[in-house]
């Protein structure tokens, strides 16, 4: 009798476990777009801004929105990372946000393909918004994946070259470099060494781990093609990628070598502190986004500085003015049951010209609509305007979205770190292996 009970209990236990498994796997929650946006509602809005000035600006934006839509209250939560948003939307529950933002465009492919962020095309169609006319093409491209427009740009970031005008004057350099060969020559002139050979100031630090120096951002100057028409990685077959690594290695070697630059980098303070290498004049030229200008002003930089586009390869001199583009994106959580009200907030933040201009001026970001980019209300600061020009340059580019999110960029970064440390003796063979790896990762992410 006891034996029978044990025998019968085992399948029951396993059955219960299986039931639990299935219960745990169910889609956490499904939202709807059947709500009436004119009815009173409270929206939960998660964003990534954390700096006091930025929080003040986004709160002011929300206040303006609430004034226009008195029935909609917005409860905002700041300093939320992509990981947190990803995990919260998967976990579901009543506290999950209705409107979400991401500070990177890397994950848009994953948000769209998984259905985690709702498709915004039906909402735009309903309101008669022609997205191709409202948003610049590059920005529109990085907020969609395979036709699913699950995000919209909420201000953009353009990358350019900050340079120390005092250092340039002392080194006898009249203007910022335009081509890679000029760039290397100027970088060498601006580099200073101590008696023991250690670098005390780098003309330009090409090290990929420095602050915003992610290799994909620098590679944008070459205009690479990451994937072929079949979606297969083709970094090994694109000669621009090889040229890029050679150019970075040449600058590094000409200045004293990677390790010496790494030793200099190890002494830098945090990027967003007063210990920043450029602010400390340990870097004469530096790749950064448009927000750095405001920070340099706030920190009271003790030198004159300017902004120019990052140089381009010598054989692509006509593309000078280009730069890497990215930005904050926003969308509606798939689990939101107030999607129509959520759309009102997304629409206001992303398409209302005055709002976009005000917000861009407040946090020193590049506006993300064509109308806002052309607005006379934009701050006249020439250093900021330089980024507007980079954003409008026809050769400026962003990374292509992938179902795997930014995983291929992570793999590319890993490879680049190894390459700059001398770990990749045969560049082409290494890139071939990297392509194979990216393809395997992408295949793994497919259902």
Binding site for other proteins (CB under 8 A): 2, 13-14, 17, 20-21, 24-28, 48-50, 79-83, 86-87, 89-90, 102-104, 110, 114-116, 209-211, 262-268, 270-272, 328, 334, 404-407, 410, 413-414, 417-418, 421, 423, 437, 440, 444-447
Q: Which is nearer to other proteins, 257 or 306 (CB)?
A: 257
For residue 155 the two structure tokens come to 């201000």
Q: Which is nearer to other proteins, 51 or 66 (CB)?
A: 51
In the complex, least distance from residue 190 CB atom to other proteins, rounded to whole angstroms: 20
In the complex, least distance from residue 111 CB atom to other proteins, rounded to whole angstroms: 10
In the complex, least distance from residue 104 CB atom to other proteins, rounded to whole angstroms: 4
155-191 b/e (C-beta count within 10 Å ≥ 16 → b): bbbbbbbbbbeebbeebebeebbbbbebbbbbbebbb
In the complex, least distance from residue 249 CB atom to other proteins, rounded to whole angstroms: 17
Secondary structure class of 5 (helix, strand, coil): helix
In the complex, least distance from residue 175 CB atom to other proteins, rounded to whole angstroms: 30
Q: Which is nearer to other proteins, 239 or 423 (CB)?
A: 423
In the complex, least distance from residue 432 CB atom to other proteins, rounded to whole angstroms: 13
In the complex, least distance from residue 38 CB atom to other proteins, rounded to whole angstroms: 31
Alpha-helix residue ranges (DSSP H) falling in 92-238: 108-114, 121-126, 131-134, 137-141, 165-170, 180-190, 215-219
Q: Which helix (H) or strand (E) holds 408?
A: helix 407-420
In the complex, least distance from residue 126 CB atom to other proteins, rounded to whole angstroms: 25
Q: Which is nearer to other proteins, 234 or 328 (CB)?
A: 328
Using an 8 Å Cβ cutoff, are 292 and 160 in contact? no
Query: Among candidates 254, 256, 226, which has minimal Cα distance to 240?
Result: 226
**Rounded to whole angstroms, how far apart are CA atoms 159 and 322?**
9
Q: Which is nearer to other proteins, 18 or 68 (CB)?
A: 18
Q: Which is nearer to other proteins, 48 or 309 (CB)?
A: 48
CA distances from 169 to 175, 283, 306, 307, 434 (A): 9, 15, 12, 15, 42
Q: Which is nearer to other proteins, 113 or 243 (CB)?
A: 113
Using an 8 Å Cβ cutoff, are 420 and 259 in contact? no
In the complex, least distance from residue 397 CB atom to other proteins, rounded to whole angstroms: 18
Residue 194 CB neighbour total at 10 angstroms: 9
Q: Which is nearer to other proteins, 207 or 243 (CB)?
A: 207
Residue with tokens 């295949």: 443
Q: Which is nearer to other proteins, 309 or 405 (CB)?
A: 405
CA distances from 29 to 115, 123, 337 (A): 12, 21, 10
| CA dihedral of 266, 288, 212, 102, whole degrees rounded to 10 | 140
Rounded to 5 degrees, φ, ψ at 366 are: -80, 130
Secondary structure class of 120 (helix, strand, coil): coil
Quick one: CA dihedral 116, 368, 324, 220, positive or negative? positive
Q: Which is nearer to other proteins, 34 or 444 (CB)?
A: 444
Please write down the long-range contacts of 277-282, taking CB distance under 8 Å and 24 or more positions apart: 277/205, 277/210, 277/211, 278/162, 278/164, 281/164, 281/167, 281/201, 282/200, 282/201, 282/202
In the complex, least distance from residue 250 CB atom to other proteins, rounded to whole angstroms: 22
Burial of 388 (0-12, 13-18, 19+ CB in 10 A): buried
In the complex, least distance from residue 235 CB atom to other proteins, rounded to whole angstroms: 15
Q: Which is nearer to other proteins, 59 or 370 (CB)?
A: 59
């Amino acid at each position: 009798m006891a034996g029978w009970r044990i025998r019968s209990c085992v399948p029951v236990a396993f059955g219960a476990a299986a039931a639990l498994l299935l219960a745990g796997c169910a889609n956490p929650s499904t939202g709807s777009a059947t709500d009436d946006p004119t009815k009173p509602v409270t929206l939960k809005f998660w964003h990534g801004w954390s700096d006091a000035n930025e929080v003040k600006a986004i709160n002011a934006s929300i206040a303006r929105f609430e004034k226009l839509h008195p029935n909609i209250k917005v409860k905002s939560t700041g300093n939320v990372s992509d990981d947190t948003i990803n995990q919260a939307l998967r976990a579901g529950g009543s506290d999950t946000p209705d409107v979400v933002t991401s500070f990177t465009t890397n994950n848009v492919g994953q948000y769209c393909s998984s259905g985690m962020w709702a498709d915004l095309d039906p909402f735009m169609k309903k309101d008669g918004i022609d997205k191709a006319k409202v948003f610049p093409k590059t920005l529109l491209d990085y907020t969609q994946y395979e036709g699913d427009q699950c995000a919209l740009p909420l201000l953009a970031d353009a990358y350019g070259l900050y340079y120390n005008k005092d250092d340039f004057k002392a080194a006898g350099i009249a203007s910022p470099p335009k081509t890679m060969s000029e760039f290397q020559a100027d970088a060498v002139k601006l580099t200073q060494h101590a008696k023991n050979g250690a670098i005390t100031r780098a003309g330009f630090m090409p090290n990929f781990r420095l602050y915003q120096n992610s290799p994909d951002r620098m590679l944008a100057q070459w205009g690479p093609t990451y994937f072929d028409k079949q979606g297969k990685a083709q970094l090994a077959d694109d000669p621009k990628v090889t040229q890029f690594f050679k150019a970075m290695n040449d600058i590094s070697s000409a200045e004293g070598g990677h390790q010496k630059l790494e030793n200099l980098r190890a002494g830098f303070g945090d990027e967003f502190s007063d210990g920043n290498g450029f602010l400390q004049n340990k870097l004469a030229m530096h790749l950064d986004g448009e927000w750095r200008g405001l920070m340099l002003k706030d920190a009271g930089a003790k030198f004159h500085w300017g902004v120019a586009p990052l140089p381009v390869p010598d054989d692509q001199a006509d593309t000078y003015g280009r730069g890497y583009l990215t930005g904050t994106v926003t969308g509606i959580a798939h689990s939101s049951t107030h999607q129509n009200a959520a759309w009102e907030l997304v629409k206001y933040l992303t398409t209302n010209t005055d709002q976009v201009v005000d917000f861009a001026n407040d946090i020193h970001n590049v506006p993300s609509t064509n109308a806002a980019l052309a607005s006379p209300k934009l701050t006249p600061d020439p250093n900021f305007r330089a980024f507007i020009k980079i954003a409008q340059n026809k050769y400026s580019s962003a990374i292509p979205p992938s179902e795997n999110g930014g995983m291929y960029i992570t793999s590319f970064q890993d490879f680049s770190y190894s390459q700059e440390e001398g770990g990749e003796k045969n560049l082409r063979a290494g890139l071939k292996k990297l392509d194979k790896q990216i393809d395997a990762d992408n295949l793994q992410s497919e259902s």
